[in-house]
Structure 1
Amino acid sequence: MKDWKPYEHVKQIGRGSHGRVFKAYDPVHDRWVAIKEAVKREKDARHEAMVMKSYGSSPFLPELYDSFAYDGSSFIVMEYVEGHPVGKGDFHREAEKREEEWSVQVTIHVLEALAAIHESGYIHYDVRPKNIMIKGEDPATVKVIDFTLAKRISERFTVGRDLQDAARLCVFLIHGCLPDSLDNVEFRNERVRTTLESILENKDPLPYSSARGMIEALKEE
Structure 2
Amino acid sequence: MMMTLKLICFLLFVATATQAEKRFFSPEYLALNGNMVPNCEIAEDESIDCTYASKYQRMLSVPLGVYQGDVVADVTLGINPKYANIMDTDFFVLLSDGSQAVGFLVPDHTNYGGQYDQEPCFHVQGTPGDSLSNIQKFNNGPKINDSNPVPAKFTFLISTQQKMGSCVCSTAYEGSYTTAKYYPDGVQPADRELTLDIYSEDDAGERYNFRYIAVDIQLDTHKYM
Q: TM-score range by the shorter chain?
A: under 0.3
**TM-score, normalised on structure 2?**
0.26
Of Structure 1 and Structure 2, the greater helix share is in 1
**TM-score, normalised on structure 1?**
0.26
Larger RCO (alpha carbons 8 Å, 6+ apart): 2
